[in-house]
Structure 1
Amino acid sequence: MHPPRSCTTTAAGSLARAVVVALLAAFGLLGARTGPAAAADGEVSWTVATASNDFGSDRRNYAYTLDPGGRLEDGLVIANRGTTPLHLNVYAADAFTTEQGGLDLFGKDAKPAGVGAWVRPDRPDVTVGPGESAEVPFTVALPDDVAPGEYMGGVVTSPAQPGAADGRRLGIRIRLRVGGALTPSLSVEDLKVRYSGTPNPIGTGEATVTYTIRNNGNSVLAARQAVSLSGPFGHWDARAEHVGDSPRLLPGDTWKVSVPVHGVTPALRLTGTVTLVPLLTDAAGSVAPLAAVESTTHTWTLPWAPLLVLVVLGGLAVAALTSRRRRRATRHAGEPHHALPDRETAGR
């Protein structure tokens, strides 16, 4: 995704660009962008920032609250830091959660259904001269029947020339709160426990708990997670070591989790419990924990080593009993047979 660097670049320049690229990669390029975005590619570079207006200046991203049918206007500022004219596409896109847990924005060809459909830049592309900047106004217009809740998307810029050397996209995130009741909700789906056992007859084994977190509410949520296993009547409790919070999930998103649990006693029947605490982050960045959600499942954990010992001992006992019966049968077969006297002869 990142083009090769020139061999004639100075060490300082290489280090600076490496730092920029590393930061962009760490923030997921577009998905985690919370402020002015920048990309450099030798001969082409630009930045994007929020416009200064009634919404404020030096904003890190766009955050709006609108009722259904509402409308507002804002702008994106593009600055060309290069030495040649810069021709960029400008478009809006919906956000999604990546497999790595970051937020990213769909490409230009994806069909939008939320923010990407409601945000309309004044023009689809812009040309910015070297050392100059240009503001691209855009309008946010909501349908009358849009459902309440939180929506994520962004305004994106990308090179307009086909096959441009710099294929990166730069954008700024839009967090939109549509007026109405917020119903934050998380659920646990496909909860399973897999026990791997132990060869030690009196030892403990390992287990893996897998499940899927689903955001089935209408707000962006992360989840604080706890996983535990226990035997009958709550005995032999084993808890997973610290499980990190899930990434922030958009409404309707899912996130698959796999958690190892050590020191699990094979107590025939195990109960696996997953507890989620939804974390709601408001526009100011404050995090509020909500009521916990708990889900359980059960699985059989046969202690194979002890059972094998019992089977062997039982087999030895059966073999010994069978051998004893055979010896007794052989001994009786070897004893002399005494015929009973004839009654008539005995009575004479």
Structure 2
Amino acid sequence: MSRVLVSVLAAVLAMGVLSPAAMAQPSPPDKKPPVSFGVRPANAAGPDSRTQFTYTATPGGVFHDFISVENISDQPLRLRVDASDAFNTPEGGFDLRARGVQNTDIGLWIKSGKDEIEVQPKSKVTVPFDIQVPANAGPGDHTGGVVASLTTQQTSADGSKVAVDQRVGSRVYMRVTGELKPQLTVERFDGTYRHSWNPFGSGSAEVGYTVRNTGNVRLAADQRLRVETPVSDGTEITGLPKVPELLPGNEFTLRRSVDGVGPWFFLTGRVHLDPIAPKGLQTPTLRPVNASTDFEAMPWSQLIILLTLVIAVLLYLRLRRPSTVEAPDA
């Protein structure tokens, strides 16, 4: 029996350089010696000082470049070299489309000069590739990666065959000239209140929202979030992470709660974003983003006590009302 293990994309996507964290270093189920390989930008003579591929292009432009593939294991490796589109994970991380998933953007524009290469132990191979920017390419940022991959058959602990696809890549950032529209949008902003049955205590508020990159350039952001009451500025939620760099069309969702919030019938959540553009690239003026949401915060325990007191007063008044006895007719 055989099954497929989801491919491994090494941390080289974070930097694009050869280091222990940038190598594909799996732990095979059948305990075979590990296979390690990596990639980095290069010129025709070999690896260079770049940590990633960065281009500025006009529609129809053509680029010729190189990637170095290094085998640091003790056995020869036959590797595939291709390209994939990039996307953000739900946590906001950077990732590339898995092998077999159709590319729709820059992954289609990149063509490797060699689909497969054989790399001898402890050696490097420099692979050329071309990027053909379509004449109708949209302005803004297009992001992907050049990937080296190795598929091996291994045996798991239960004896079944496992296809392990090890992948390691170097990021490719391309900005196509034209009208740039940096824009982050807050969507699906909501809030809930968890009340306390202690009439003298306070509850907690939880707010959540999604930040979507609705523009055409990649953006990160600093964020501030607070929960306000009708009578005060409320409480600022501290310890928020930065919104990670979002590629156009991608999103990041955050949920946070704050304690010590009183039940003021309704509360308001407010978020403020200060977008951050990629370093070294000219980007139009970035405008802050503000959004808010209102949600109920009913003081149920206080209302129950108040209702109980009202009923008690009414019963007390009724019991104290003097009774009227009519005298019999003479």
Inter-partner Cα distance in structure 1 for 2:193 and 2:41:
52
Aligned to 1:129: 120
Q: Which residue matches 1:249?
A: 246
The answer as to 2:116 corresponding to 1:119 is: no
Is the CA contact 2:148–2:167 (under 8 Å) kept in the aligned structure 1?
yes
1:32 is aligned to 14
The structure number with the bigger radius of gyration is 1
Q: 1:34 to 1:104 in 2, by over 3 A?
A: same
CA distance in 1, matches of 2:53, 2:124: 19
Aligned residue in 2 for 1:238: 235
Is the helix fraction higher in 1 or 2? 1
Which amino acid letter does the alignment assign opposite residue 56 of structure 2? T
1:104 aligns with 2:89: no
CA distance in structure 2 between the aligned counterparts of 1:246 and 1:74, rounded to whole angstroms: 32
Preserved contact between residue 110 and residue 131 of structure 2 (Cα < 8 Å): yes
Question: Which position in structure 1 is the counterpart of 2:287?
Answer: 291
Cα gap change, 1:306 to 1:259, in 2 (>3 Å): same
Match of 1:225 in 2: 223
Residue in structure 1 matched with residue 49 of structure 2 by the alignment: 58
1:242–1:79 distance in 2 versus 1, CA, 3 Å? closer
Deviation at 1:311, TM superposition (A): 0.6
Say if 2:83 is the partner of 1:92. Answer: yes
CA deviation profile, 1:134-192 (whole Å, cap 9, x unmatched): 11100011111111011110000111555688632111010111111221111111111
TM-score, normalised relative to structure 1: 0.80
Q: More relative contact order in 1 or in 2 (CA 8 Å, sep 6+)? A: 2
4+ residue segments displaced more than 6 Å: 286-289
Is the contact made by 1:94 and 1:106 (CA closer than 8 Å) also made in structure 2? yes
Q: Report if the CA contact (8 A) 1:76-1:136 is conserved.
A: yes
Deviation at 1:46, TM superposition (A): 2.0
Note the 1:184-203 alignment, pairs <5 A. 184-203=182-201
Change (3 A) 1:196 1:297: same
**Identical-pair percentage:** 33
Across the aligned residues of Structure 1 and Structure 2, the Cα RMSD in angstroms comes to 2.7
Could you tell me which runs of 5 or more consecutive residues in structure 1 were left unpaired when the two chains were aligned: 1-24, 340-348
The answer as to whether partners of 1:31 and 1:173 remain within 8 angstroms in 2 is yes
Which of 168, 171, 174 is equivalent to 1:173?
171
Does the residue aligned with 2:308 lie in a helix, a strand or coil? Answer: helix
Aligned letter for 1:35? V
Higher percent of residues as strand = 2
Which amino acid counterpart does residue 167 of structure 1 have in structure 2? Answer: D
